[in-house]
Amino acid sequence: MVQIKSVGVIGAGQMGTGIAHVVALGGYDVLLHDVSAERLDAGMGLIVRNMTRQVTRGIITQEAMDAGIARIKPAPELQTIGATDLAIEAATENEELKKAIFKALAPHMSDSILLASNTSSISITRLAAATDRPDRFIGLHFMNPAPLMKLVEIIRGIATGPETYETAVQFAQSLGKTTANAEDFPAFIVNRVLVPMINEAIYTLYEGVGTVEAIDTAMKLGANHPMGPLELGDFIGLDTVLSIMNVLYEGLADSKYRPCPLLVKYVEAGWLGRKAGRGFYDYRGEVPVPTR
C-alpha cells in the first residue's frame, strides 16, 4: 500500500480548511490550494483561529497547535498538489467543477498519488471516470465541521481498487476518525437521511405548519437534536442543501426528494445561511433573528 506522508487539499473554504486542520494535527504535511489568493489567506487564518480555540478549550496543547500550523503550507499553484501522496478535493458541490479540477491536476500528478473527493452527494464512479486512474480514486466525506465531527464516510466507486480503499480507511482512522462504508448511491448515508429532513422542515415552514422558531424548537426539544433543522440548513449552506436535494431528485427519480420551492427562493435571493449573513435566520445582528 502507498504510505501517505503528504496531503494536498484543494479548496480553502469551510470544508477544505477543516480537513487541512485535522490532517495537519494528525502528523501529515499539508499543501492547501485555492484558486483565490484571498480565500487561501483567509483559510490559513481560519485554521489558526480554530486551533487557538481548541487550545483554549483544552482539546489540544499549544505544542500540538504549533506543530500542526508548521505542517500546513499555502499552495497558490494547483500543480504543486500533484507531488503529494494523497490529493483531497474539497471544492464547491458542483460536479463539473470537481471534474475540471482533477483534469487540470492530471498533467502534474505523480504515478503513485491517490485521489479523493470530499463530495457529500456526487457519484464517486462518475468523478473517478473523469481521471486517468479510477482505481486510485475514492470518496472521503468528512463531516462538517471536520475538526469536531468524528465520522468520515468512505465511498468506493465501481473501479476503486482494494489497496486504495484500505489506504483510505487507515488514513482516516489515523486522524482519530471513525469510518463508515457507504455505497456509491446519491448522497451516500448521512446526507441521504439528513438533507431530506432539512428539506421537509422547509416544507413545514412553507406550508405554514410552524414558524422557523417553532420548527427548530420542536426538533431540538422533541427529538433531542442539538441544532434545529432550519438552523442546521443555514450552517451547512442552503445552496449546498439545494445541490444535494437536486442530486437526490435527479439520481433517484423519486418525487419525495423534490426540493422545496421556498428553499429554491432563498438560494435565488442569495440568502444562503450563515456564510451570507442571512438564511432562515438573519445573522447580521448580535443575535440571530428568524427571517420568516
CATH number of 6-182: 3.40.50.720
pLDDT in tens, the chain (292 residues): 678 999 999 999 999 999 999 999 999 999 999 999 999 999 999 999 999 999 999 999 999 999 999 999 999 999 999 999 999 999 988 999 999 999 999 999 999 999 999 999 999 999 999 999 999 999 999 998 999 999 999 999 999 999 999 999 999 999 999 999 999 999 999 999 999 999 999 999 999 999 999 999 999 999 999 999 999 999 999 999 999 999 999 999 999 999 999 999 999 999 999 999 999 999 999 999 999 9
Amino acid in position 33: H
Identify whether 107 is preceded by a cis peptide bond (ω within 30 of 0): no
- Return the DSSP state at 278: B
Tell me, what's the pLDDT at 200?
Answer: 98
* Rounded Cα–Cα distance for residues 113 and 128 (Å): 14
Residues in Cβ contact with 269 at an 8 Å cutoff, skipping those fewer than 6 apart: none
Going by C-alpha positions, the residue among 103, 98, 114, 143 that lies closest to residue 28 is: 114
Return the H-helix or E-strand segment holding 114.
Answer: strand 114-117
Instruction: Tell me if domain 6-182 and domain 191-290 are identical in fold.
Output: no
Give residue 96's identity as a one-letter amino acid code: E
Nearest to 156 by CA among 178, 179, 176: 179
Cβ neighbour number for residue 39 with a 10 Å cutoff: 16
Q: Please give the backbone phi and psi of residue 222, each rounded to the nearest 5 degrees, phi first.
A: -90, -25
Q: Under CATH, to which class is 191-290 assigned?
A: mainly alpha
The burial of 285, by beta-carbon neighbours within 10 Å (0-12 exposed, 13-18 middle, 19 or more buried), is given as: exposed
In the prediction, which pLDDT does 201 show?
98
**Structure-block grid coordinates of residue 25:** 494535527
Between CA 161 and CA 166 the distance in angstroms is 9
Active-site positions read: 120, 141, 153, 191
- pLDDT at position 2, please? 76
44, 76 in Cβ contact below 8 A? no
- Which residues of 14-113 form beta strands (DSSP E)? 29-33, 72-74, 86-89
Instruction: Give the whole-angstrom CA distance, residue 183 versus residue 168.
Output: 15
Q: Kindly list the domain boundaries of the chain, sorted by start residue.
A: 6-182, 191-290
